[in-house]
Structure 1
Amino acid sequence: MESNSGEKMDYSAWSQENLIQRVTQLEAELKAQNRSLISTPPPPVEKKSWKKPRNERVFDPSKYNTRLIALKLAYLGKRYNGFEHHSNQTTPLPTIEEELWKALNKARLIFPQRANPMSPGEVNWEGCEYSKCGRTDRGVSAFGQVIGIRVRSNRPLPKKKKGAVAEGAEEVEKGPAANEFNTLPRENAVEMASPALAPSRPKSKGLPSESLGLDDPDLEETLNFDPVGQEIPYPSLLNRLLPPDIRILAWCPAPPLDFSARFSCRERRYRYFFTQPAFVPTPHHLEHPSSNSPKVKDGWLDIAAMREAAKMFEGLHDFRNFCKIDAGKQISNFERRMFYADIEEVEDSTNELGFVNGTEFVPSGSLEKVYPKIYTFNLHGSAFLWHQVRCMVSILFLVGQGLEKPSIVSELLDVEKNPRRPTYEMASDTPLVLWDCIFPREDDPERKDAMQWLHVGDGPAAGGAKYGTTGLMDDLWKVWRERKIDEMLAASLVDTVSRQGNRVEELEAGNGKKGSKSQKVFDGGNVPRLQGTYIPVMKKPVMDAVDVINEKYAVRKGFESAEDLKLQGFRRLGKSSGGETPIAEDADE
């Protein structure tokens, strides 16, 4: 060991105590030396951003014109909790209205009045002149749903004359919050409209331009505006913001003067899809006698009997035995007119389930070899009650399975003889589609749609919006193909399993099946319901009469009677939505 001067030191004569002190000293010197060699890292240099901070531009709705339009939309209802949104009600799935609301707001197409400033995302259609045609339930789809709504327009506002102060200008200058949420008509604005559908019941509403001097030079810019070519492409804009299974199909630039998506609709058309066979049939020799009616083979439907029963729905009838009573609406009139009711076959482009055509599966005497088939129950009516279509279909399926005669429809329509509905199960929701909504003129006996729909892709140089990249058809193809591949894989799997193992005629029924009294009842679902021995509809327990249901509801809500509820209760309950009264309101599927 060398000293600091470079001379070697002799530690042989050192005592143990001195050696320990020396070692301690050297360790301290070494630590100090090491610390001096470790450089302190320089503080991080803040990177200068060359981008200017983005200032959120204040959006002033008062600078924009508005117009009333109608939108025709389609949606697949499986992922949604129905069409209608209910305030202060949490649902397990979103509603179609919620998705429409979010898209319309994000696109700055509406400026609705906020009922609760603390909840800016709350669905509230006040100030938008919003109306809807049908209110489909959870799981139900629509291919022709219609809404009316006032939206932002590209049409220039009339120029203000010098020295003139528009009504409400003072409030706008005080702060944007005063009139920020307002999609109502602008002062002196020009707006298009078609003639009223029902001239005999005119509304106190005229074209905004009627009181204007159309030769006024200050109106030249707004009058020369092309209401279609220069307008916001509403369907394309909304389709970019909506989920892929909700699509805007068309819009009407000039709805009639008296237009309401709900009250102007004179015909609603529904389709309910089902397969034939309804569920996987059992081979003849594996069936047990108690499994079904001797007239119809297990799994199959008697389409002719269903058609016979369906035709009995046509005409004006009281459908209280074909709906769910909603006491909250206090409906007392259940008469609805059905213009058309029938069972029709639908062409199916692919068929992987060839085993169904085997002699062991088809009904005796059947000569066709093209199963499974797809059918629809097509129904056109003036208006519908809550769950009406699904109740009607449920009875048709019982007829198709041979569990009821077609005359059961006539019996249930005879409300004088049968004023209380039997407690039968209604059909499944997913196969039901609100197919179209028709808005005819009041004096048209053929009920042709009088709305001037501009479909996506119509108009000059607009074809790309339908068949171009990211066009409407591209969007729908993606949705279809995903589901079609799932269908083909599932069908191929079923068909593969049907051909595995022993031949069908070699299979034996298990002992556990003998003596079983379980009845398979088809209700539109993917598999039949199993129940005990079938009880005919007219022998099932019946529900309370309508007036009794309404009376019980009113008393439960704290009213003296149902009449008291009708007189003043709805205002107290705050039941109205979107400015439309709920009294005697149809509760559509």
Structure 2
Amino acid sequence: MKIALKIGYEGTAFFGSQIQPELRTVEGELLKALKEAGAIEDVESADLSSAGRTDTGVHAFSQIVSFYTVNPGLAIPRVINSKLPRDVWAWAYAEVPDDFDPRRHAVRRKYRYILSGDYDISKMREAAKLILGEHDFANFAKKDKKNPRSTVRRIEKLDIRVGTGIIRVDIEANAYLWNMIRKIVTALTLVGSGLRPVDWIEQMLDADNYEEGIEPAPAVGLVFMDIWYDPEPEWIMDGYAVRHVNEHYTKEAERHKVISTVMEQFIIHEKKPE
């Protein structure tokens, strides 16, 4: 039987999601937990695959993984979570057909980038409107020399929302290029800080006639939020797993609020000369 899981992870201590020899990864921890729980016999027969690869330091709320199980009763979130470290967890599952591919069958993916800073939000939103739609995003991607492919992608949604000291950038598309989202965020902040005009975005999207390299925004702010399929698997949310995850991260969020305030106490404010 093939099972799909919705998993989340706090990516700070992972070298990305994809399994790599000698490095701590999300897939590595998940495969270890599945084997310890008795849900799989070995890595090869499990044939685990993910909806998308996330880089070192990137987080996920709803990454999708699928695998073959020898014991469906043990391939449920509450059992798997008992074998996982606290920074990765499963919270929903579904039985899926043998030909289900979490990456190829996805019709839309949503990411969220969280940042703070003093930016002109109206200019950032103007820039975001230019990025919407189908464009050549070659200037917003890390070049993959080994596997060159089309750099044309279609952005379906790009929203910028402001909270208390926080800016949330939500982006939805069917597929993305390597570092594309983080470079889009960099471009938006360059416009929002006045270092680039809004129409510079049009130049960046004209990859045939203009080339400029920009650094990706830090991985710490990027979260893989959601993914959709057609037809959508019949997900079963594990209430027990959800409650435990919510309790843990509610406490963690409060702790980090305190730490953030403590960090602010260390800022030295120099007096301006009279």
TM-score scaled to structure 1, two decimals? 0.44
Deviation at 1:266, TM superposition (A): 1.3
**TM-superposition CA deviations, 1:112-133 (whole Å, max 9, x none):** 3xxxxxxxxxxxx432232210
Q: After superposition, where does 1:420-499 map in structure 2 within 5 Å?
A: 420=211, 422-441=212-231, 450-457=232-239, 465-466=240-241, 472-492=242-262, 494=264
Which residue does 1:313 correspond to in 2?
131
Deviation at 1:493, TM superposition (A): 5.8
Greater strand fraction, Structure 1 or Structure 2: 2
Which residue does 2:271 correspond to in 1?
507
1:86 to 14, 20, 27: 20
Which residue does 2:66 correspond to in 1?
148
Larger Rg: 1
Q: In 2, Cα distance between the equivalents of 1:486 and 1:437?
A: 28
The reply to whether residue 71 of structure 1 matches residue 1 of structure 2 is no
Q: After superposition, where does 1:171-570 map in structure 2 within 5 Å?
A: 231-232=73-74, 234-253=76-95, 255-256=96-97, 258-275=99-116, 278=117, 300-329=118-147, 331-346=148-163, 372-418=164-210, 420=211, 422-441=212-231, 450-457=232-239, 465-466=240-241, 472-492=242-262, 494=264, 507-509=271-273
Q: Which stretches of structure 1, 4 residues or longer, exceed 6 Å deviation after superposition?
A: none
Deviation at 1:507, TM superposition (A): 2.4
Residues 111 and 257 from structure 1, CA distance in 2 versus in 1: closer, same or farther, beyond 3 angstroms?
A: closer
**TM-superposition CA deviations, 1:297-322 (whole Å, max 9, x none):** xxx20011111111222111111110
Residues 145 and 509 from structure 1, CA distance in 2 versus in 1: closer, same or farther, beyond 3 angstroms?
A: farther
Aligned AA for 1:373? Answer: G
- Whether the 8 Å contact between 1:245 and 1:479 is mirrored in structure 2 is no
Q: In 2, Cα distance between the equivalents of 1:489 and 1:75?
A: 21
Deviation at 1:478, TM superposition (A): 2.6
SS of structure 2 residue aligned to 1:147: strand
- Whether the 8 Å contact between 2:140 and 2:180 is mirrored in structure 1 is yes
Residues 341 and 68 from structure 1, CA distance in 2 versus in 1: closer, same or farther, beyond 3 angstroms?
A: same
What's the RMSD between the two structures over aligned residues?
Answer: 2.2
Count matched residues.
274
- Whether the 8 Å contact between 1:311 and 1:342 is mirrored in structure 2 is no
SS of structure 1 residue aligned to 2:185: helix
Where structure 1 has 5 or more consecutive residues not aligned to the other structure, the ranges are: 1-66, 113-124, 155-230, 279-299, 347-371, 442-449, 458-464, 467-471, 511-589
Deviation at 1:336, TM superposition (A): 1.2
Q: In 2, Cα distance between the equivalents of 1:143 and 1:492?
A: 27
Deviation at 1:344, TM superposition (A): 1.5
Residues 130 and 489 from structure 1, CA distance in 2 versus in 1: closer, same or farther, beyond 3 angstroms?
A: closer
Residue identity over aligned pairs, in percent, reads 31
Q: In 2, Cα distance between the equivalents of 1:416 and 1:233?
A: 49
Residues 490 and 344 from structure 1, CA distance in 2 versus in 1: closer, same or farther, beyond 3 angstroms?
A: closer
Higher relative contact order (CA 8 A, sep 6+): 2
The reply to whether residue 135 of structure 1 matches residue 53 of structure 2 is yes
- Whether the 8 Å contact between 1:244 and 1:479 is mirrored in structure 2 is no
Residues 416 and 434 from structure 1, CA distance in 2 versus in 1: closer, same or farther, beyond 3 angstroms?
A: same
